[in-house]
Every structure is written in C-alpha cells, then in structure tokens.
C-alpha cells in the first residue's frame, strides 16, 4: 500500500483572507464623490454670483477675474474627483469578484479534503485492493491521480487570485496617479468632453420638458460613464425626478444627504447658521436617523438585513417643511408595492414615524404571503397642513395639489417597474386620505387597490367609490370607531361638511359611499373618543395593519371586513363597530 500512499497528495494549506475590503473601498469612493459634489456647488455658486453686477472699477474687475478662476478650478477638480471615484468604484467591483472567487476556492478546498479523507480511508482499509494486481488497486490509483490534478487546479486558482488582486490594485494606483496637481488645476476647457453636458443635452433629459416615460428612456440610453457623471454632478436632479429608477434615486439622495450634513453641521459647530438652516438640519438628521432605524431590521421571510432606500430628499422644500421618502424593498423589482401617504403635520422631520409605519406594513404584507416580494414606501412628497398653516387642513387645496404630485410619483413607479407590473396599493391616512382620493379622482392612479384610513373626508364632490377609478371592491376603508378625526366627514343626506369651502367631503366608511370597510379597531382603544386612536392604524399586530398587509399582498379573501357606518333619517350617525370587542387578527 506504500505506493498508493506515495501518490496521495498532501492536505492543502488554509487559503489566506483577502485584505481588500469592498465596504472600505466604497467609503473611499463615496468620500471622493462628496468632495466632487461640494466643489461642484462652489462652481455653481461662482457662476450664479451676481454681487458684482453693479460693482465697477479695478477692484470689481479683480474680483470677477478671481472668482472666475476659482469656479474654473472647482469645476476641473470636481470632474477629476468624480472620475477618480468612478475608478475606485470599478476597483470595488473587481475586489468583490475576486472575493467571490476566493470563497469558491475555500469551498473547493473543503471538497478536496473530503475526497482525500474518503480515499485515504479506503486505501487503509483491509481488502483485496491491497494487491497491486487487482482492479481495486488500479481504481484507487486512478482516483489518487485525479486528486493530484484536483489539487493542482486548486493551487492554480489560489495563485491567480493573488495575481489578479495585485494587478487590480496596481491598475487603480496607476490610474489615480494620472490625476496630477497640474491636471487637477487645468482649466475645464482643456479637459475632455464634459460628460455631464453631453448627457443632459440628450433628448429626454429631465432638464427639459420631457415626459416621465421620456426620462426613463433617457436614463436607460446613457452609458455607464455618463450615468456616473450625472449622478455626481447633479445628484439633486436624479434623486427627486419621477421616472428615474429608485435605486439610482437612493444613491443620489444619500450623496446629497451626507454632503448637506457635513456642510450644515460645520456651520452649526462654528455658529455660522443662516436663515432656514436650523429647520433644514433637523430634516436631514431625521432622515439619517430613519435610515439608520430601518437598517436595524431584517426581512421576516428571508432573515436578510434590510437596506432602506431614500427615494425622496429635499430638506428645504415647502418653506422648510421638506420632502422625504423611504422605502423598504425596491419597488422597481417587487411583486407587491404600497405607498403610504400621511396627513396633517407630516414634514421631513417626521419621517422616522412614517418609516416605522411603512415597516409595519411591509412586515404585515410579507407575513401575509411569504412567497411574494414586497416594497413599502413612506411618501412625504406634498405640502401637508402643519405648523403656521395648520388651519388649511379644513380646506382641500393642499390635498388637490398633493394629489397631482402623488399621481406623478405613481406614474414614475410604473415607468421604472421591471418585469411583470407590480400589484400597487396606495394608502392614505388622515388628510392623506383626502390627498389620495383627489389623486385618484382628479388625475387617475394606475393602481390595483386604494386604502383610506382615519379619513376626515374623501374630498368635496367625491361621493362614491366609483369616482376613484377602481372597482368598488378595491376601494378599502379603515375607521377606528373611537377616532374623532374619522367622524369629520359628512354623513347622511345633509353633506354640510363642505359648507362655504370648509370640510373635506363625505365619510368614505359610510354605506352609501360604496367602499369595502375592514376592521381597524385598536386593541387598546379608548373608552371614548381619543385623538390617540387616530395614530394607531399602523401599530404592530393591530387589526388595521393586518388587513392592510393582506390588501397589499393581494390576499383579499383574508381581509376581515366590518359593517359600514350609516345615518338613518330618524337619528344621528351609527357605527356598528363601536360595540365589537377588538381582537388581534393573528390570534384568531
């Protein structure tokens, strides 16, 4: 048996860990991009500066010359940093591929050792194969030779990993070395063609009057280099434009968020805050905290960590109220998609609360149907009544304006949807239900289901579910019987809630409205009317969030329905749910 032992190859040594870390490399790329964005802002400032228009003389000429040089240098350096960041991002992709190959090599090594142990056991076992003249001996010899070849292939793969990593690193260093001080400070006019200008002058660019479909086609037509250039030079354009893929919007908005936070936290530290900065900074920090909160969660089906997407970010919009939107799951690739539209007092600095609500909807929908992928979005994209303009909650103008913005956003989702069209549900809470109803009635929403919860009224002139453009079986209403806001809508035949322009129209939970009412009582509801019950529609394990999850998942048969409110001529409005004992749906 000594001959077979001699043929048997040795164990393969442990494969060294790769020191290159894709996460660290990505951080370097993002930091370079942040610098590029800040310098791009400086360039735009110098070109937009009008302080010298009425200033003449030698000092004015010197100022113009200097600011022109500063802007040109900022533009050139910004372009170079953007290109450098792209090279680093490419290097990260190389490292990821090499790490995957290294993981495969580790698996191959384990398989090699399993085969070797099995073969060694057979060689050492007593039997006829110990005689070199037998077929058993010859079979073991051939298997030992194959194992030698297997080890040689593994050794080649491992050595190639080191070579490829060194080559990728040397290529990156060589490319970055080309960005000399001379090149960085060269006037932009002497640099290669400006990819940003080239991309933004292509038909379909969002800088023009393109339709949402044109914008989606424009983005798809750009080269990878052009996309990267626009992403870093105009992140605010991509981050908040309907028709741009959600993952791209997230990348752009995260770049903006980090750059904005760096700038304003510096001003705060050195007490140089300007008008509006305090509100903007509060909005930025709320967005950052909401993203951090979302990243702590894991998908209830797969167990994978969630990566929330920042698809909307304008911290200074609406006179400082701001815009913000965060998604769990990618709506461009999910089977079931929901959009939560909040109501009164929803500002960018309240995104944490609505991110939590969106997560509860996501979790409920995933549990309702674990076989389908889900995306749940919290959309603060309209100017809801809040603070000094809170009194506008009694009128519909904010809802009608917001409905148009919501309609555009939904059209954008439909335009970027990949594969089979998603089952899309829009959920309006409180004043957001009036906004959603106006979007559906005034502009039309290409959706499968519409949900109104805690509604103070569906809007003046909207008296029946059929006006919302969906089959009545796909217009859903949730009303907590102890929620006073849900009683603001007009009931019965009087319709006085829109008298002299005040009020928000008909109560959609009433029988004559024609929607399907589902159970939405809070398990811990108050004994009498309580505004706290108005905020419990998305609470975990509540009747409401269970039923909303089933609707989002497309499981209509699982929705627990409730009797409508009604208003007989001989008495006031009646809510049959007020006498029913609330239950946790999953306990049934």
DSSP 1: -
pLDDT at 492: 55
User: In the predicted model, is pLDDT for residue 2 greater than 70?
Assistant: no
Instruction: Give bridge partners of residue 313 from the DSSP assignment.
Output: 324
- Output the CA–CA distances (angstroms, integers) from residue 63 to 40, 52, 490, in the order listed: 20, 8, 64
Confidence of residue 488 (pLDDT cuts 50, 70, 90): confident
Q: What proportion of the chain, given as a percentage, has pLDDT over 90?
A: 56
Q: Are strands 423-429 and 336-341 parallel, antiparallel or unpaired?
A: parallel
pLDDT at 503: 54
Please state, rounded to an integer, the average pLDDT across all residues of the chain: 88
User: In the predicted model, is pLDDT for residue 495 greater than 60?
Assistant: no
Confidence of residue 192 (pLDDT cuts 50, 70, 90): very low
Helix 351-368 with 277-294: angle, nearest 10 deg = 20
pLDDT at 452: 97
Confidence of residue 171 (pLDDT cuts 50, 70, 90): confident
pLDDT at 193: 53
Which three-class secondary structure state does DSSP give residue 588?
A: coil
Whole-number CA gyration radius for the chain: 31
pLDDT at 389: 57
pLDDT at 500: 38
pLDDT at 51: 59
Q: What are phi and psi of 325, to 5 degrees?
A: -150, 130
pLDDT at 133: 85
DSSP 398: H
User: In the predicted model, is pLDDT for residue 246 greater than 70?
Assistant: yes
Instruction: Give bridge partners of residue 505 from the DSSP assignment.
Output: 459
Distance in Å from the first CA to the final CA of the chain: 69
The domain limits of the chain are 2-190, 306-587
* Block residue for tokens 């509060």: 282
| Sign of the four-CA dihedral 513, 518, 521, 527 | positive
User: In the predicted model, is pLDDT for residue 491 greater than 50?
Assistant: yes
User: In the predicted model, is pLDDT for residue 439 greater than 90?
Assistant: yes
CA dihedral 506, 509, 512, 513 (to 10 degrees): 60
Q: What proportion of the chain, given as a percentage, has pLDDT over 70?
A: 91
pLDDT at 50: 54
Please check whether residue 441 is in contact with residue 467, taking contact to mean a CB–CB distance below 8 angstroms. yes
Confidence of residue 172 (pLDDT cuts 50, 70, 90): confident
Give me the half-sphere count of Cα atoms (radius 13 Å) on the Cβ side of residue 371. 2
Confidence of residue 411 (pLDDT cuts 50, 70, 90): very high
SS3 track for 154-217: HHHHHHHHHHHHHHHHHHHHHHHHCCCHHHHCCCHHHCCCCHHHHHHCCCCCCCCCCCHHHHHH
Confidence of residue 587 (pLDDT cuts 50, 70, 90): low
* Block residue for tokens 């108005």: 534
The CATH number that domain 306-587 falls under is 3.40.50.1820
Task: Please count the other Cβ atoms lying within 10 Å of the Cβ belonging to residue 132.
Answer: 11
- Output the CA–CA distances (angstroms, integers) from residue 330 to 126, 310, 381, 436, in the order listed: 60, 11, 18, 22
Residues 41-55 have pLDDT tens digits of 787 778 776 555 677
Retrieve residue 439's tokens.
């979007």
Residues 518-545 have pLDDT tens digits of 999 988 776 766 778 888 999 998 999 9
CA dist., res. 49 & res. 52, Å (int):
8
* Block residue for tokens 């200008």: 197
Instruction: Give bridge partners of residue 518 from the DSSP assignment.
Output: 478, 561
Q: Are strands 323-328 and 374-380 parallel, antiparallel or unpaired?
A: antiparallel
Residues 303-345 have pLDDT tens digits of 999 999 999 999 999 999 999 999 999 999 999 999 999 998 8
* Block residue for tokens 């908040």: 240
User: In the predicted model, is pLDDT for residue 174 greater than 90?
Assistant: no
- pLDDT, greater one: 48 or 115: 115
CA dist., res. 408 & res. 393, Å (int):
22
Rounded mean pLDDT of 459-470? Answer: 91
pLDDT at 523: 85
Rounded mean pLDDT of 31-37? Answer: 84
Please check whether residue 545 is in contact with residue 476, taking contact to mean a CB–CB distance below 8 angstroms. no
pLDDT at 64: 81
Measured over all CA atoms, what is the biggest interatomic distance in the chain, rounded to whole angstroms? Answer: 108
CA dist., res. 521 & res. 167, Å (int):
63
**pTM of the full predicted structure?**
0.81
pLDDT at 190: 39
Residues 378-399 have pLDDT tens digits of 999 999 987 655 555 556 889 9
pLDDT at 391: 53
94 alpha-carbon distance from chain centroid: 25
User: In the predicted model, is pLDDT for residue 414 greater than 60?
Assistant: yes
Rounded mean pLDDT of 219-247? Answer: 93
Helix 135-177 with 58-124: angle, nearest 10 deg = 170
Rounded mean pLDDT of 52-81? Answer: 81
Rounded mean pLDDT of 172-198? Answer: 64
Residues 537-568 have pLDDT tens digits of 999 989 999 999 999 999 999 999 999 998 87
């Amino acid at each position: 048996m000594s001959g077979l032992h001699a043929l048997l190859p040795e164990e393969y040594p442990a494969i060294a860990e790769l020191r290159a870390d894709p996460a660290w490399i990505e951080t370097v790329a993002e930091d370079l991009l942040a610098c590029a964005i800040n310098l791009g802002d400086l360039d735009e400032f110098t070109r937009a500066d009008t302080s010298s228009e009425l200033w003449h003389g030698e000092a004015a000429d010197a100022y113009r010359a200097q600011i022109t040089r500063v802007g040109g240098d900022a533009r050139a350096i910004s372009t170079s940093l953007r290109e450098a960041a792209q090279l680093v991002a490419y290097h990260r992709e190389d490292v990821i591929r090499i790490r995957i190959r290294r993981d495969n090599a580790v698996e191959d090594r384990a398989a090699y050792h399993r085969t070797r142990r099995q073969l060694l056991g057979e060689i050492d076992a007593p039997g006829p194969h110990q005689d070199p003249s037998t077929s058993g001996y010859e079979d073991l010899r051939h298997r030992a030779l194959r194992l030698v070849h297997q080890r040689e292939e593994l050794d080649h793969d491992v050595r190639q990993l080191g070579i490829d990593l060194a080559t990728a690193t040397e290529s990156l260093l060589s490319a970055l070395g080309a960005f000399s001080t001379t090149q960085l400070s060269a006037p932009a006019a002497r640099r290669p063609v400006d990819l940003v200008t080239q991309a933004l002058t292509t038909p379909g660019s969002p800088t023009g009057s393109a339709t949402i479909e044109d914008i989606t086609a424009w983005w798809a037509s750009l080269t990878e280099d052009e996309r990267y250039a626009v992403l870093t030079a105009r992140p605010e354009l991509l981050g908040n434009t309907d028709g741009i893929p959600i993952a791209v919007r997230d990348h752009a908005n995260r770049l903006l968020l980090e750059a904005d936070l760096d700038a304003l936290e510096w001003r705060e530290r050195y007490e140089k805050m300007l008008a509006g900065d305090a509100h903007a900074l509060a909005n930025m920090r709320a967005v950052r905290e909401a993203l951090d909160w979302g990243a702590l969660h894991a998908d209830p089906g797969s167990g994978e960590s969630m990566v929330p997407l920042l698809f909307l970010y304008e911290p200074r919009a609406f006179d400082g109220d701001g815009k913000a939107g965060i998604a769990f799951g990618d709506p461009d690739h999910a089977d079931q998609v929901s959009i939560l539209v909040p109501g009164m007092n929803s500002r960018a600095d309240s995104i944490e609360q609505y991110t939590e609500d969106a997560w509860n909807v996501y979790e409920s929908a995933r549990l309702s149907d674990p076989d389908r992928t889900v995306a749940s979005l919290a959309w603060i994209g309209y100017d809801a009544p809040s603070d000094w303009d809170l009194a506008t909650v009694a009128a519909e103008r904010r809802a009608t304006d917001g409905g148009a913005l919501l309609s555009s956003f939904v059209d954008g989702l439909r335009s970027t949807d990949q594969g089979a069209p998603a089952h899309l549900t829009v959920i309006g809470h409180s004043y957001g239900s009036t906004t959603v109803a106006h979007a559906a009635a005034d502009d039309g929403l290409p959706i499968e289901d519409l949900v109104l919860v805690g509604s103070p009224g569906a809007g003046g002139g909207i008296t029946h579910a059929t006006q919302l453009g969906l089959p009545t079986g796909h217009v859903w209403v949730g009303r907590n019987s102890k929620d006073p806001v849900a009683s603001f809508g007009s009931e019965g035949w009087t319709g006085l809630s829109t008298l002299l322009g005040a009020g928000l129209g008909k109560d959609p939970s009433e029988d004559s409205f024609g929607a399907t009412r589902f159970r939405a009582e809070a398990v811990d509801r108050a004994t009498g009317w309580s505004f706290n019950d108005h905020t419990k529609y998305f609470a975990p394990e509540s009747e409401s969030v269970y039923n909303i999850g089933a609707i989002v998942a497309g499981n209509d048969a699982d929705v627990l329905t409730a009797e409508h409110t009604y208003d007989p001529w001989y008495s006031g409005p009646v809510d049959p749910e007020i006498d029913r004992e609330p239950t946790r749906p999953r306990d049934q």
